[in-house]
Structure 1
């Protein structure tokens, strides 16, 4: 890490440019440094002045591409690189020295809690030394911490030996586990952290015992968390558990946990069980010893995949076995987190909700319909991670494979890498991405037809492989997407084929009128310009009523009209009535309605979404002429064959596997909104219902 600039953010900017081989756009710098455009330009001016004073080449700006450092400048700055400091700040946070001005508010609060839990009795002077600030600033930060901790099960108290956190040991450890990944990420920016020297061998013995390998991220996490835990044990802090029944999985690793504690001459049943539960919460790449829990979760995953397929109308039959096997491996760690009240913080949550709204709400509905089997409540963070598995299966259906492939290596386990794959395949549908692979699997992979390796781990592991390697994060920044796009263009992968043809035509025209000294540079610059223009100017047009998948909205007052009645149960007549507008509008044929009724008669009320709504649907081949949907609200409840009552039937008729997903996501999102449902069921006329539904559709189209 560089130590060159005496002012804020200067070294961050130089480090960013030093580590990249390509120019970074102003938007990429804004995202990476969390600064405004004006602040970035002012910062570059200050940094360039400081570089000039030392005789170092300044930051350059390549028009249409961004800012970069020349090789001469990079080489000169290497003399300002600081040697990494190996230290034990994880267990002795009083030794930290981190300028407060470098930290965001959440990081400040998180770090303060971590310090007070880890090393209670920290004085104001200690805080002043750690953060290099005045006494009043520390007091102000501690007041903010009180607000931050209002929902926590512990509180800060002042004692003669400094400030401490009061609360149960279990609550403190739960907070540490939930926030430890963020703490690690923060501290590793400033320090090379030390760990207990015997932990690698202990973790290896654990993996041998259970017959499973921890993901790279889980291994990294446990290496440092167990170092923290070791110090906790040495300090004499002990946990007390209320439930001490040993599960089959915990009992299997009991001897290993006892041996771990024996290193500190500890023989404590509660601590032993706590350690067993902790280890079972960690993500693994595979499971070789299949037990009763695995079988139960495999059954759950199979039901979940079937429910997702039923809701979405997607055919995932070919991928289902692999999908269910991978999902089961993930669910093992999720199961133990939920059973032990550990909240998972998913860094991809907001991006998945925003960019893959349909996928998220379909997954949420599928999960919520099955979670009663676990007697647990899946959070949105957990659901978003499950969504990545379904997303990977869905995208894989339409992937056109090319001869050369790109390997995707992820340290965070299958779920995170599936999301990265989903993003990559969505942006570059003509490129063959293979994965997810662990670092070890990649190093053993035959590389004859591999054109690039994309990894979320450090490039140092791949120094000896004969193909290019690009390191990006699971949630790539604007700058990282640009760098990836440039690299794919350089390696001649099939990206934006039509756009590249246009670029070549433009270059041909330019060459007729001017001499081009750097043909490759011009091609790269134009490709980069059009790529950023395409990805920054996506405008979603307002959806008119005629463009919407929803074609008809009907309010049925009183009894179902006689014309729709036959010698059938009332619920069958209701479905016939609800689908009738699509039939009369020539969007479907009668066989489609007959198939819906037959499916419900055979398999029960599985199409009931809850809250009095039934989603009537079958397969396209059963009689769909054009993609469409119709919504009918009944004044009087309709009793299904199971005794469930419904008041709303939505007939969904998709002509392909994708065109209905946005509408379905909107529907599921609204059904999760209690106020929206209440308003729906209080509409009592055709006009009121139409106004309400079309307003909902139009509001969504304008977002």
Structure 2
């Protein structure tokens, strides 16, 4: 029989259970190891599988999958023997080691060789072996066992210590040889390390909550999630909290998809276990739900039927607005349905909710955020609710997730022969240039020439390359500011066509700008008078309904519409607009709008029939207001004729 490790044995079983390619991190998360360690396991397995004419196939952009075989899965598994653990534990030494791991990992106690030797009535050598074994098991984390004159303890960030605890829990599970469903039970041996009552409470809570779609979760994912949450609770009971983690905005936005599921879970956990989650603990729990593939669900079919038409209408309007078909995305449908029902509930009970990323979302996802607001504004009256900026931002996240799922990822290779550390340095610095959806991989010079580069979009190298049929940008190993600029310029040239990057084209604004709606160098002293003057003109020309001004004020109550560039962009509900118009007003003296002083007002009036153009309209608006320089260039200080010309409007007679 061929010998492989227990972890490799488990990886082989997982691969055999799958029919399609899955990302490497799908497996590394289950096994609680790094992607790099997983690749080493794959190489070891491939050497062993070669004799059976089987191979673990690695495919860029798709992940890994095991090749087909004439042998059954059972026959393949039986042909391998699990390698023995280096230290041959009998029952008592394993119990002793679990207890030591409890002291070090779960309780973060400082221990000494002498005290442990006396407690367990064994030699200091045996204790040393136990500590070495624990250190070997938790090597996949950045936590480590450290000894000095004052004793021995585990050091590292809290998130890494919890990762180490989970790795040790998996070691115990592997020793238990448990083969029954993880959804039904864990091994009794595990309960000597992690509290049984906590594991059972967490498991029951996930099973009994109607909003958690447990049935779609694989057993190994469920096991992993229960362990992660149980470990978090155990550490909170000991007084340890997750450290603050600086993440990219797109990562944080991704995690907010399960915000309300996490919030509901935290309420039960705090109540049942007398613990308190801080914001970092909450974020960590939320990320665990995302990482394990959780999606919200509504089991109430009556509720689903009640709001089915509204949800489909929202998705259709968003699809038309951004010119991307989202109507076949079942995941988006369920996410919007769940969120809509809970949003109506919160609105009618006047239960406010705070979105921790609201300002960042409004700044970085401004076009999609405003599009979402306009679409939701159209259903406020229909549903009898009032929307807040926070709710709009949460809803936007589901649409962004759907857009990400169908967006095309660009494949980018980073080549650096001077070492892995340098490659990682380059990769990390380039993250600010690339799109979050891009796939970035570090490769060696040798592998570069052996690979099929047909699907590679860009190569970035710190060393001169032989001619290849892929665009190449050269950078220094230290990745200077100039290198970043060079890569950024190449990236824009390759992946953004001329239509996208045209600076002077205002195709959509040109259709809705009207010289009679341009007011320059006004001496209006207040926000109220400004809105009143614009409203009167729009009503006079029969372009809006009688409820238009109230709609403006309703929108202003929900959140700020003034920007740091000195511009206010009020935008009323489309239901109060008869004909789409862009109203422009400049002021001789700035006035207080909400939080800021403004000297330019761009009122965006979009009728429901023109919602299909909203993405283009908002994109062009934000091109103007994104900087003070652009506001001055296109609007402020310009004549009416100049504004009409630069924004593509009709020539003034």
TM-score by length of 2: 0.40
